[in-house]
Amino acid sequence: MSPHISIKGEIVFHLLGFPVTNTVITTVLVVFSFFFIARFYKSEIEKKDRTLGFYALNSFIIGIRDLIKSVLGKKTAYFFPLLGSFFFFILLMNWSGLIPGVGSVLIEVPIEKKVYSQVGVAEVNAVTTDEYAVEEEHATHKIPLLRGGTADLNTTVALALISVFVTQIYGFKFLGPRKHLAKYFNFKDPMMLFLGPLEIIQEFARIISFAFRLYGNIFAGEVLLTIIPFLLPAVLSFVVSPIFFLEIFVGVVQALVFVMLSAVFINMAVAEHH
């Protein structure tokens, strides 16, 4: 059987008329996992005797906090809840595609095909579509039950929109509407007549950059891990193992890149314009 690769999430079932894709199912599971990890961390903080799991997680959080602090400085405490949540959510979404069973457990879902059957006698080369009856043939095809969260462009675009939107919100909050809008519209400065529209275009470009960078790297890794076992003999299947660990590292790097760029843009948004 050839490997199944789709560039978008596939519909598993409908809930109240809303299509639920395999990416949505994975995202829901990741959200629950994120919640339980957060509860575990909170409960361990309140204990005197803490587990090794807590210290490992706490060291990870402190490391991420220090990296963000190198960009935001004294403002880190205010922005860390958002940026820290970004990092761990994206990290879990990136790693979700590496869990055994994700992408490999297939289910059958119905599809509808239109079949055209001739119902009249037509002359050669003069057959019209009216002389055919359209019938619906109900068939099934197999799709993965689960799919890596950030291997779906819808997910990465949503994350990018949130990042860019909250950056603008923080700009208005810290600088006020007048000073923040002066970064884009300042008719007293002739240079801003040219730079202002470019700044607006840059905000939209950030959405595209955020979304496609994260999606491209994670989706490429998913395709690589799917294709290689079909290209290599079984005796060389151990070659996939280094790629698997590489994808674990890539998942961390991409989550970190997303968060650090968000931190840089937030820092720029809340800084005074000169």
Strand boundaries in the chain, DSSP class E: 11-15, 18-21, 106-118, 132-144
Q: Which residues of 228-262 are buried (b: 16+ CB within 10 A; e: fewer)?
A: beeeeeeeeeeeeeeeeeebeebbeebbbebbbbb
The predicted-structure confidence for 176-199, as pLDDT tens digits, reads as follows 888 878 777 776 766 767 777 788
pLDDT band at 29 (very low <50, low <70, confident <90, very high): very high
Report which of 202, 232, 261, 214 is spatially closest to residue 97, judged by C-alpha positions: 214
pLDDT in tens, 53-92: 889 999 989 999 999 999 998 899 999 999 999 999 999 9
**Two structure tokens written together for 234:** 């079984």
Is the pLDDT score of 135 beyond 80? no
Q: How far is CA 207 from CA 50, 89, 200, 204, 237, in A?
A: 41, 18, 12, 5, 38
- pLDDT of 124 higher than 50: no
Residue 100 pLDDT grade (very low, low, confident, very high; cuts 50, 70, 90): confident
pLDDT tier for residue 145 given thresholds of 50, 70 and 90: confident
Coil, helix or strand for 105?
coil
